[in-house]
Structure 1
Amino acid sequence: MNITDYSISHETFKLEYNPQLQLYHTTPVPENLSTYYESENYISHTDSHKTLTDKLYQWVKQYNLQHKINLIKKYKKESINLLDIGAGTGDFVLACQNHAHWQATGIEPSTKARIKAQEKQLILHPDTTNLLPHSYNVITMWHVLEHIPDVTAQIQTISNLLTPDGIVIIAVPNYLSWDAQHYKEYWAAYDVPRHLWHFSKYSIKQLFSQQNFQLLAIHPMLFDAFYVSMLSEKYKTGKTSLLKGFLSGIRSNYYGWRKKEYSSHIYILKRK
């Protein structure tokens, strides 16, 4: 399947299917991949509020911050030392730092995003080099794993940084959702070439099982269906249609409720 980067470069990439893991891989991977993030259109690195879609994204992001914290509380009752990998401009890390008895650290490779975080009085690390092993009892990656070139190495890094009783929380899009099947090559969550991997529930379970993790639970990200559908409508028709996107989001979440295949999933994992 060929997918076009509708948001930035308008180049076309191919998705190659791995039947053993039930996932897709974006090819070719550009040598200058970092340049595909250097745009005001890449909202998670800019905090943009320019368009209506930007404003909706920022509103949903603020709502999701508390939802994410509540989800962590469900699985971890004690004091928390959290590491957020792919922290963007740092809003989630800041929300965690403001929570009683929580410590939070963020990793963000993008210099542009780290500068935005610094404007909020937050220092993010560019990588994990200076972090102590087995120091964090919660490690999160919110829509980040799909960007990582070597997923296996990333899971090994997570394992090295996690305490023995820690949990890992991974959020990624789901190509088996209704909105993915409906929009096909226009599905915004393919987001090539920034998204290098396109996961199913099976692939996440298998990849982490190979590194001695077990899956505790899967939770839906209900708002993703609406945001992704609105973007997908724009890619498909060239016009912004909030109504069509909203209706597609409802259909996608209904399908997710029936089939347990939502637009995006949150995976809770721990060591076996």
Structure 2
Amino acid sequence: MTKEKDFYQNLQPFLNCKDYTVSGEVYKVMLNKEYDMLVTTPVPKNLATYYKSENYISHTDSKKSLLDKVYQIVKKTTLKRKLKLIDSFKTSSKNILDVGAGTGDFLKVCKNNSWNVFGVEPSLDARTIADKKGITLQENLSEVKNIQFDVITLWHVLEHVEDLSSYIITLNKLLSKDGKLVIAVPNFKSEDAKYYQEFWAAFDVPRHLWHFSQTSISKLFASENMVVEKTIPMKFDAYYVSLLSEKYKSGKMNPIISFYRGFVSNLKANRTKEYSSLIYVLRKS
């Protein structure tokens, strides 16, 4: 990334978004044209408190609401796909690090398939749930030392990281010479993002500090001599995000409309390649 001061000086207004999960507060989402990247401002000083909600499902295993049930069903399918992806990589030690591991489901699947698993998760509640599944997680990335990883994964995590530049440097150091860095993030260039605009659930302010495009991911990691090797769509995300976005927009669930919007988003992405969320597979150049 360019010097942080310059990065923030080059911001332009994009839209204002409301925090529908915890506070109801409104935040500015600003555009940096050079990186084709959006930034949430301001960043709350007590950011950790904005994750303390039963509605923040990645830190729980809740199955109470319709959204919870949809999330858990989709999660089972995506876990299989994630495992298939990492199993496709040629590795020497099968050491994998999952950053932002949540309640440990992905690492549990990896462990059951002969991977040596390591994980990081800031939420104590999520770490406690993971521990009951036999997955021990560290609180911070700084606690992971003296080991290199064949695969490092961040499933919808990079958008939450405060000090983005130093985090990318750390990830590069932890990755082995021939390792793969796998990053999944929402894509604000997608059709569902354009349709729902300030109601788009994947903006998720203020928890999502950064909002990426394909251009921004390439530029950010190029600064650490890393290149995008492959981009993979996450087609389920268009439906789930549309379901939640429709709730924010209309105040109620509209499964039929949400399914239609997700379908349209994926249909247009077949041509533009701008899916609701994208997985980036990166390597050292």
TM range (shorter): over 0.9
1:247 is aligned to 2:260: yes
1:209 is aligned to 2:222: yes
Contact 1:23/1:200 (CA < 8 Å) preserved in 2? yes
Contact 1:15/1:24 (CA < 8 Å) preserved in 2? yes
Q: Which residue of 1 aligns with 2:156?
A: 143
Aligned length: 271
Q: How does 1:75-90 map to 2 (within 5 A)?
A: 75-76=89-90, 78-90=92-104
1:20 is aligned to 2:38: no
Contact 1:134/1:164 (CA < 8 Å) preserved in 2? no
Question: Given residue 54 of structure 1, which amino acid in structure 2 is its aligned partner?
Answer: D
Question: Given residue 23 of structure 2, which amino acid in structure 1 is its aligned partner?
Answer: S
Q: How does 1:62-81 map to 2 (within 5 A)?
A: 62-76=76-90, 78-81=92-95
Contact 1:135/1:161 (CA < 8 Å) preserved in 2? yes
Encode CA deviations 1:124-168: one digit per residue, 9 max, x unaligned: 110133323451110000000000011111111101111111110
What residue ranges of structure 2 are gaps of 5+ in the alignment? 1-14
Q: Which residue of 1 aligns with 2:126?
A: 113
3-state SS of 1:75 partner: coil
Contact 1:133/1:160 (CA < 8 Å) preserved in 2? no
Encode CA deviations 1:179-200: one digit per residue, 9 max, x unaligned: 0000000000000000000000
1:178 is aligned to 2:191: yes
Question: Given residue 20 of structure 1, which amino acid in structure 2 is its aligned partner?
Answer: E
Which of 179, 198, 201 matches 1:166?
A: 179
Q: Which residue of 2 aligns with 1:49?
A: 63
Aligned partners of 1:208, 1:54: CA distance in 2, in Å? 34
Encode CA deviations 1:14-43: one digit per residue, 9 max, x unaligned: 011111111010000000000000000000
Question: Given residue 27 of structure 1, which amino acid in structure 2 is its aligned partner?
Answer: T
Shift of 1:72: 1.4
Comparing 50-59 with 75-84, which one deviates more in the overlay? 75-84
Contact 2:21/2:53 (CA < 8 Å) preserved in 1? no
Q: Which residue of 1 aligns with 2:241?
A: 228
Contact 2:38/2:212 (CA < 8 Å) preserved in 1? yes
3-state SS of 1:129 partner: helix
Aligned partners of 1:128, 1:13: CA distance in 2, in Å? 28
Shift of 1:121: 2.4
Aligned partners of 2:40, 2:111: CA distance in 1, in Å? 35
Aligned partners of 1:76, 1:96: CA distance in 2, in Å? 15
Aligned partners of 2:263, 2:56: CA distance in 1, in Å? 25
Using the size of structure 2 for normalisation, the TM-score is 0.93
